[in-house]
Amino acid sequence: MQEKVAKERSTIQRRSSVNTQKKSLTRKRSSASISSKRDSAPTSSLLQTIYKWDNRATNYLAICSKTDGKFSRFRFVMKFLELSCHGAPWIIANIAGILISHDLERQEILLNFFLALVLDLMIVGSVKALVRRDRPAHNEDDLIATISIDKKYSFPSGHTTRAALIAAFTTSNIRLQNPILGIVWSWAVVVSSSRVILGRHYVTDIICGFGIGIIENLVAKWFWIPKDTCMLLLKPIHEDLHL
């Protein structure tokens, strides 16, 4: 009889211990959940604030987005800036320079610049395909010579990454006087700003795009192809084309 009572007491104690552990675990999970919600709340609030600011700023600055708007007469200026940083003319001119030039130092700069431009196209295309952010609703569908993914998606701005890359690459590798470098950087900033004014992009597309362009120049410096290697790569091409 005493043994049965002892066993029952032992069983009751075990059940009580298990229940206590379960309650403790439940409380820990509940407190962890509340803590995670508290931690994520500021982050979520910050993202919402940035999102709202981005939309308001973009809508406010897109003064040349419509062909019949108040500032539509300045739209051709924005379109000119758009063409001045289009990828196709820069790449074509760069290839022509590589083929025509016989100066080794110039060939080195042009070949590395060409590779930097290709890197820019690859990075922008990849990020746009991953992020898939649509262009602003007020954007006019009149982009010239663009592929579908670049025409549809907004983040980051390809013109901005390219403008920043060109300015940074020029500063790093070409000996120019400060006033000329100032003009180059001013052009890059104006082109970048025009993307929002024309209604092509959000403000954050421009800010992030400019940063990406600077980083692309650093990558180009890191993987720089030296003069001797450039000569080995380009000599057969010049010989085949009798240049």
Instruction: Supply the pLDDT for residue 70.
Output: 82
pLDDT per position in the chain (243 positions), as tens? 545 444 555 555 555 554 555 555 556 565 555 444 454 556 678 888 888 999 899 999 988 888 787 888 888 899 999 999 998 999 999 999 998 888 889 999 999 999 999 999 999 999 999 999 989 988 777 766 666 666 788 999 999 999 999 999 999 999 888 899 999 999 999 999 999 999 999 999 999 999 999 999 999 999 999 998 988 888 888 777 766
Instruction: Supply the pLDDT for residue 10.
Output: 59
List CB contacts of 115: < 8 A, sequence separation 6 or more: 220, 223, 225
Crossing angle of the two packed helices 87-100 and 104-131, in degrees rounded to 10: 160
Exactly one of 102, 138, 201, 238 is catalytic; name it. 201
Instruction: Supply the pLDDT for residue 209.
Output: 97
Exactly one of 86, 102, 159, 238 is catalytic; name it. 159
Residue 201 is among the residues annotated as catalytic for this protein: yes
Instruction: Supply the pLDDT for residue 30.
Output: 55
Residue 86 is among the residues annotated as catalytic for this protein: no
Under DSSP, the state recorded for 144 is: S
CA distance 64 to 80: 13
